[in-house]
Structure 1
Amino acid sequence: MNTQLIGNYIATFWWVFLFSVIVGLLKSPTFKGILGEFLVNVMAKFRLDKNVYTLFKNITLPTEDGTTQIDHVIVSPYGVFVIETKNMKGWIYGGANQKTWTQKIYRHTNQFQNPLHQNYKHAQTLQSALGIEPEKIFSLVVFIGDSNFKTPMPENVVYAGGYIRYIKSKQQRILTGKEIAAIRHKIQAGRLKPSLKTHIQHVEHVKTIVEQKRQQVENACPKCGKPMLLRTVKSGENQGKEFWGCSGFPKCRTMRPVA
């Protein structure tokens, strides 16, 4: 009887379960990232001349310590544009040289990595792979979603529509047709094959990096930010006991007991 009741309940309210799953997926960071990249792709398709600008999506490149994944690369006579997409809402605070930026939604505050720093590694990796001069590569961060910059941003940090204007603002031809053809070939030949396996491996690599950074933060000196080192008391009544001491000693004398 109970089994039949459960079956009837599921048959009647299956749509509630399905709706909940869909809502959960729409709110997930993964879906937001996919949506943001899709919008950038659409704008490029309809607002950039295909005969002038070539768009590459989701490029995963091998690095010395794993992989790096670039959302978009646009190749043109006016340079190579490396684009990082952020689908975020709320107030955004940040500066070009700050290590972390801040997202504020009502009373909730969240810290996230400076996307310019994040995209710097992408640009450096691509530059090395292509073998071109750094002045021919432009880093660009595009915010998608209901976000509002509350601090002045560099010209290469823009809202969705602004990224097309930024690209078109570069009017000096710095790459020849032969160079463009070589760059396109190198990107296609050097990227890892787009696949679920490649994506999963990259995600796992990113998780490892995040965990390493978390451990570094936890073991950082609360006063100056330098790493804490495990030391041993050499004399006195506590001789032989271990403690955490700042690596900046003697300028910083912060100590912390071993838990």
Structure 2
Amino acid sequence: MVVTLILVLGCIVISYLIHRKNMKLLCSVSSPDRGTRAERRLVIKMLKKGVHPKAIFHDLYLRKKNGEFSQIDIVVATPQGLLAIEVKDYGGWLFGNEKQRYWTQILNYGKEKYRFYNPIMQNAGHIKALREQSEQLANLPIFNVVLFAGDCTLKDVSYRADNTFVGYSCNIEYVLNRIREFQSAEYTDKREVARLLRKAVSNGNNPEIVSSHFASVQRKSIGQPRSWN
């Protein structure tokens, strides 16, 4: 009984210390209340893989030409260009390719089937908004990265574009290594890029911007296939 109690207490202490360490890592980039749990876990994972905190920008809101805002989950600045990362937390089997407007999610052993907007296309819209922020960003290489967390299987998902990556959040190191194989990007002003990305992050602290974006997303989703993210 005593031994069991000691083991339980030991596990609790270890779990607390790990959580505390992870929160310290997260707070070097973002805050515990920003974004989704899947996004925060990915930020922590990238930090543990050696990505510098100043290279990661989490939960960005970019003003588009029409006055609305586009929200990007994560942007990572690398020597090869920017990674625009869309994080999805889905379950079940997923099917789709880069040209299909909607992908399919199958749950409950095929008894339930849902469609959701192509995340590659969704993220391409985010990248378009990112390019609108400055002339430098308009010409900088930006990689379209879609990562799935949760208990899902990419059963039949295909894409061919060289600057596009689709996979699981747990394989972020593989994606980072693949992108390192590309040639270095020509940044004309790295400070400008950092400033614009920091401004986009700070927009997420403005309740009016966040609520306006949420309302815009809700309006556009009326009549669209069911989606969880």
Query: How many residues align structurally?
Result: 181
Residue 66 (structure 2) pairs with residue 55 (structure 1): no
CA shift for structure 1 position 198? 2.6
Closer/same/farther in 2, CA of residues 191 and 152 from structure 1, 3 Å limit = closer
CA shift for structure 1 position 50? 0.9
- 1:167 corresponding residue in structure 2: 176
Closer/same/farther in 2, CA of residues 165 and 42 from structure 1, 3 Å limit = same
Correspondence 1:47-86 to 2 at 5 A: 47-50=49-52, 54-63=55-64, 64-86=66-88
Which segment is superposed worse, 76-85 or 125-134?
125-134
CA shift for structure 1 position 162? 2.2
**1:98-138 deviation digits (Å, cap 9, x = unpaired):** 00001101211111000011000100110121323456111
Closer/same/farther in 2, CA of residues 175 and 134 from structure 1, 3 Å limit = closer
SS in 1 for 2:99: coil
Q: Percent identity?
A: 22
CA shift for structure 1 position 168? 2.3
List runs of 5+ in structure 2 lacking aligned partners: 1-32
Residue 191 (structure 2) pairs with residue 181 (structure 1): yes
What amino acid sits opposite 2:103 in the alignment?
A: W
What amino acid sits opposite 1:66 in the alignment?
A: E
Closer/same/farther in 2, CA of residues 60 and 190 from structure 1, 3 Å limit = closer
Correspondence 1:152-231 to 2 at 5 A: 152-154=157-159, 156-171=165-180, 172-176=183-187, 179-189=189-199, 193-195=203-205, 196-211=207-222, 214=223
Correspondence 1:1-259 to 2 at 5 A: 34-50=36-52, 54-63=55-64, 64-106=66-108, 107-131=111-135, 132-134=137-139, 136-154=141-159, 156-171=165-180, 172-176=183-187, 179-189=189-199, 193-195=203-205, 196-211=207-222, 214=223
Give every structure 1 segment of 4 or more consecutive aligned residues whose post-TM-superposition deviation is greater than 6 Å. Answer: none
Closer/same/farther in 2, CA of residues 133 and 204 from structure 1, 3 Å limit = closer
Closer/same/farther in 2, CA of residues 202 and 192 from structure 1, 3 Å limit = farther
- 2:4 corresponding residue in structure 1: none
CA shift for structure 1 position 66? 1.4
What amino acid sits opposite 1:159 in the alignment?
A: Y
SS in 2 for 1:121: helix
**1:135-172 deviation digits (Å, cap 9, x = unpaired):** 61111000001100111433611111223321222232
Name the CA distance, whole Å, in 1 between partners of 2:118 and 2:154.
14
State TM-score, norm by structure 2: 0.71
List runs of 5+ in structure 1 lacking aligned partners: 1-30, 218-259
Name the CA distance, whole Å, in 1 between partners of 2:196 and 2:217.
24
CA shift for structure 1 position 54? 0.3
RMSD: 2.4
The structure with higher relative contact order (CA 8 Å, sep 6+) is 2
Larger radius of gyration: 1
